[in-house]
C-alpha cells in the first residue's frame, strides 16, 4: 500500500517512492502550478443512452456548465448522437467529442468513422487509446499513435488515454507503462511525431485501468504521484514549457463525492468521467467542483 500523504507533499514524496527500474523523474516542484491551465471536465458516455436521453443530458450539461466559468467542458457521445447533441449544445461552451476514430481518410473500411467525418459535423475532441478500445477491440500502441496523428492533422484535439492494469500497479510498473504508452502514442511512424506546437492541442487522460467502472478510485495522493510523473515525462521529452501547459486529466470512477479532493491536487487538470457523466445532477456537480 502507498503511504497516505497530502497532495501538497507528494512532490517531496516522489524520490523515496520510486522503486529501482522505474523511469527516472525530475523534481516536480516547479511543475505543480496550474494557474495558467484551464481544467477540462469531459464526459465519456460510452455505449449508453438513446436519442431522447442523449439530447436531454446534453441540455442539462449545457446548463450546468454555465455556472463554471473557469472550467472547460466536453461530452464524448456515441456516433449516432453527435449531430443532435451538437444541436442541443448550441450557444453553450460545451465541446463535442467522439469516442474513437479510424486513421484512414476514406475507403472500404466498413463501420469505420474518419476524422474528416467528425470534423465535418463540428467535433472538437476525439478520445484515443481508451483502455476499453485497447482491451476489447485490440487497439495497439501503433493504432493509437496513428489515430493521434490523424486527429491532430484534422485540426481536432485528441484525448490520449494511458494507464496501468491492476497487476502492473501492484508490481511497481505504473511509471514504466505510462512512459511506454506516451512514447509510442506521441511518436512518429510514417510521419513526424507530435511536436511541441502540436502538444498545445493534446489532452492526456491518466486512467488506471483497475479503477475504470469498478468503483475503485486512486486516492488523490496516488493519482497526484502519477500525474506528477507524467508532467515530468514532458519535461524530459519535450520541455518545461510544454510540461507546464499540457492538460492531464484523471479518469477512474470520478464522482461528485470525490472530485473536489482529486481536483485539489496540483497536477490534476480535470477529469475524464465515465458512468457518473450519465447522471445530469452528479455530472453538474463534477463540473462545478470546489477547490
Active site positions, annotated: 130, 207
Backbone φ and ψ of 37, nearest 5°: -105, 125
Rounded-to-integer distance, Cα 164 and Cα 137, Å: 17
Decide: helix, strand or coil at residue 289.
coil
**Residue 193, H or E segment:** none
> CB neighbours (10 Å) of residue 80?
12
Q: What is the DSSP letter of 217?
A: -
- Burial of 197-235, coded b for 16+ CB within 10 Å and e otherwise, reads ebbeebbbbbbbbbbbeeeebbbbbbbbbbbbbbbbbbb
Residues contacting 262, CB < 8 A, separation 6+: 217, 220, 223, 250, 254, 268, 271
Sign of CA dihedral 146, 208, 199, 12: negative
- Beta-carbon-side half-sphere exposure of residue 220 (alpha carbons within 13 Å): 21
Which grid cell sits at 68?
Answer: 463554471
Strand partners, 206: 162, 250
Between helices 174-185 and 220-237, what is the axis angle to 10°?
40
Q: Judge contact between 256 and 285, C-beta under 8 A.
A: yes
Q: Judge contact between 284 and 55, C-beta under 8 A.
A: no
Amino acid at each position: 500500500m502507498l503511504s497516505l500523504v497530502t497532495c501538497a507533499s507528494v512532490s517531496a514524496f516522489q524520490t523515496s517512492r520510486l522503486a529501482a527500474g522505474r523511469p527516472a523523474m525530475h523534481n516536480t516542484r516547479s511543475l505543480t502550478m496550474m494557474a495558467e491551465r484551464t481544467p477540462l471536465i469531459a464526459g465519456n458516455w460510452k455505449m449508453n443512452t438513446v436519442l431522447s436521453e442523449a439530447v436531454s443530458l446534453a441540455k442539462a450539461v449545457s446548463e450546468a456548465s454555465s455556472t463554471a466559468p473557469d472550467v472547460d467542458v466536453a461530452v464524448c457521445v456515441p456516433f449516432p448522437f453527435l449531430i443532435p447533441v451538437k444541436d442541443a449544445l448550441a450557444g453553450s461552451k460545451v465541446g463535442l467529442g467522439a469516442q474513437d476514430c479510424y486513421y484512414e481518410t476514406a475507403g472500404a473500411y466498413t463501420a469505420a468513422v474518419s476524422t474528416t467525418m467528425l470534423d465535418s459535423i463540428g467535433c472538437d475532441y476525439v478520445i484515443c487509446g481508451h483502455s476499453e478500445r485497447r482491451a476489447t477491440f485490440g487497439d495497439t500502441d501503433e493504432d493509437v499513435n496513428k489515430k493521434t496523428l490523424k486527429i491532430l492533422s484534422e485540426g481536432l484535439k485528441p484525448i490520449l488515454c494511458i494507464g496501468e492494469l491492476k497487476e502492473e500497479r501492484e508490481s511497481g510498473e505504473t511509471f514504466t507503462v505510462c512512459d511506454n504508452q506516451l512514447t509510442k502514442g506521441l511518436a512518429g511512424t510514417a510521419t513526424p511525431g507530435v511536436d511541441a506546437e502540436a502538444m498545445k492541442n493534446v489532452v492526456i487522460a491518466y486512467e488506471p485501468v483497475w479503477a475504470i467502472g469498478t468503483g475503485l478510485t486512486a486516492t488523490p495522493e496516488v493519482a497526484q504521484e502519477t500525474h506528477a510523473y507524467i508532467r515530468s515525462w514532458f519535461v524530459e521529452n519535450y520541455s518545461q514549457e510544454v510540461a507546464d501547459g499540457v492538460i492531464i486529466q484523471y479518469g477512474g470512477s470520478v464522482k461528485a463525492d470525490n472530485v473536489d479532493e482529486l481536483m485539489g491536487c496540483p497536477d490534476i487538470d480535470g477529469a475524464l468521467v465515465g458512468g457518473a457523466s450519465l447522471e445530469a445532477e452528479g455530472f453538474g456537480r463534477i463540473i462545478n467542483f470546489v477547490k
